[in-house]
Amino acid sequence: MSRFAAPIAEQIWDMKYRLKTAEGAPDDKTVEDTWRRVARALSEAEPAQEDAFYGALEDFKFLPAGRITAGAGTGRSVTLFNCFVMGTIPDSMGGIFDMLKEAALTMQQGGGIGYDFSTIRPRGADVKGVAADASGPLSFMDVWDAMCRTIMSAGSRRGAMMATMRCDHPDIEDFITAKSDAARLRMFNMSVLVTDDFMQAVKDDASWDLKFEGTIYHTVEARDLWNKIMKATYEYAEPGVIFIDRINQMNNLAYCETIAATNPCGEQPLPPYGACLLGSINLARLVADPFEDTARLDGDALTELVATAVRMMDNVVDASRFPLEAQRQEALAKRRIGLGVTGLADALLMLGLRYGSDEAAAQTEAWMKQIARASYLASVELAKEKGPFPLFDAEKYLASGSLTHMDQDVRDAIREHGIRNALLTSIAPTGTISLYAGNVSSGIEPVFAYAYTRKVLQKDGSRTEEEVVDYAVQMWRDKFGDKELPDYFVNAQTLDPLAHVKMQAAAQKWIDSSISKTINCPEDISFEAFKDVYMEAWDSGCKGCTTYRPNDVTGSVLSVSEDSEKAPEADSGADVVYISEPLDRPQSLEGHTYKVKWPDSEHAIYITVNDLVLNGHRRPFEVFINSKNMEHFAWTVALTRMISAVFRRGGDVSFVVEELKAVFDPRGGAWMNGKYIPSILAAIGGVIERHMVLTGFLEGEGMGLKTDPHAEVINLGNAPRGPACPSCGQYDMRMVEGCMTCASCGHSKCG
């Protein structure tokens, strides 16, 4: 029999984790081959552990993060680490672009990255030696965003980035509102670094200085600034909030590092050049006698599995490649790992506990403590064998961070023998690996939907439908047939937001890094109640807070009614439908021709844009791009045909401009008319934009793409559904663990 609990699990394995030849033929014939490949690769330095590693992977009990499963034992030059925080950005043009290059190299090998942009001087500040004003950190974030669009990371995933900025930076208000424009900074997740002093100022209704390098630029009311942060995330789901002082105070390594940024989903606060690898214990696989009075999680099996997982992950530190030498040195000096969980909500259901209840929170805290104890003791055992991490200092280590409330026997063991890994626990996004494990609930999130229907693209181009059922719900069905689900079965859409916070806080106490979690809020939640969610997260000890409320910018997620076992299904007539049929070409059109001379290019490019007049208004209809440079011939013809085809479809086609303007040439762009243009394609996009402005189609530069291009479809069935997935096109995008994730194919914005 297949090891896969659901068809979607096997499809995810085949698409993302199965080793194949360059021609597409499978090297891993079965999932057992995948487990064996990973186990053998991670036990290369200690072959006697191979069978133990295989046993942990078997039946999806331990789930290494996707990059480990996809990359270990393949011989490919990819990193097995999931996330990086890059070096501190210098406040100089040369230093900034050195950092941009490092970011590109890191994403090229498959790493998501985080940056603190607080170190760049604010917009309007003096730039010494050039008699100019600084453009500010937001302008450089635009450059990073353009670069990220062009870098395909390992496993055919787009790069993911996190941008942070301190709450006292003079440009913080621009940072807060940057993503109100859906066309801007789409490759970034964004979070504000909130300090203890700021939170106290909010509570005291005090004033707050915005400053850079000791100079006060503005003074605002702290509560007004807090309300701006809250209003932005209320309306378009960003920025998130990171309680940065709490993170540094609770860091085991506070004595030798300072943190100012996190990875893209926020569960890994990291120092400059910090890197972390991730893996998850599947709690749903460890419950004995599910749904019975004797139901329990097997504590002995959990402790044994954690110990094996810690050893495996420690070996990854040595087995992985790193995009940059500084990242390798940082990882080896501290040997940070991030062991977390998935299937928590399913495990609670199997024990008859309602997610969000006091009993569920207490059980979650108890499980997290057991995992923390087992992780630290396993790392002590590794230190006995292989030595502690190089920067270990017993007294300083035990006096900082999460060790202050660790059990005394664990502290004594660390003092006597040291510890192999400086930090051990983290709860990361597990959307894709949760599907791979049979659609168990993700991370510590509640069950999103008990069941839903997905459309599967077949090889002949047709689509078939299949039901995807939550792991615990399927187990209930197998055990009790059509018997009604008990009232303790709840889902993400029907939970009170404060119940989400309670569960996050319960888990955080024993997680030494942080937690990736989304607090789902109903669309009709009041602004005051919404703000209470963040204040409760602060008051209850969370290290950060990410919410999702359906909105016009990010769209709405698939909704689930409280009295229905299934999520609503999209109407069969709700496939992609263009707003109009292609427009017919008249005999003659009005147009303009523009000349672009790219620096260092022998020949100019000529761009002709012809317009159609409809109801007295001009709109772009076709484009011709010509050059005498034969090296440009193929791509200019292709671009001509593609853009013209889009224009002839009608509707709001202004997104073409923004897509072109965002293309980044890794060989470097050019300065044109006093403005940096990242590529020839971006220059063409700028010409088309100026034409659209000239003819009145656009109100001004930067006014394109106010909504996602996928909004150009009509939902004929008027059924509630999520935004369209950029990978498979299905309307199953959901905000899970701080990241938009497709339930149909596993595509994730965060990689």
> Which residues carry out catalysis?
263, 265, 267
Give the Cα separation of 109 and 686 in Å (integer): 31
Give the Cα separation of 468 and 450 in Å (integer): 8
Quote the Cα angle for 112-118-120, to 5°.
105
Give the Cα separation of 751 and 70 in Å (integer): 13
Separation of first and last alpha carbons in the chain: 31
Count the Cβ atoms, other than its own, within 10 Å of residue 170: 21
- Residue 455, H or E segment: strand 451-457
Cβ contact 316:338 at 8 Å: no
Query: Which of 608, 638, 606 is CA-nearest to residue 621?
Result: 608
Q: Tell me if residue 684 falls in helix, strand or coil.
A: helix
Label residue 129 exposed, middle or buried (CB < 10 Å: 0-12, 13-18, 19+). exposed
SS (H, E, C) 266-335: CCCEECCCCEEEEEEEEHHHHEECCCCCCCEECHHHHHHHHHHHHHHHHHHHHHCCCCCHHHHHHHHHHC
Phi, psi of 466 (to 5 degrees): -140, 150
Q: What is the dihedral of CA 56, 62, 66, 67, to 10 degrees?
A: -50
Query: Which of 166, 174, 238 is CA-nearest to residue 198?
Result: 166
Rg (CA), the chain: 26
Give the Cα separation of 246 and 350 in Å (integer): 34
The sign of the dihedral angle between the CA atoms of 447, 448, 451, 457 is negative
Give the Cα separation of 730 and 558 in Å (integer): 12
Give the Cα separation of 368 and 378 in Å (integer): 15
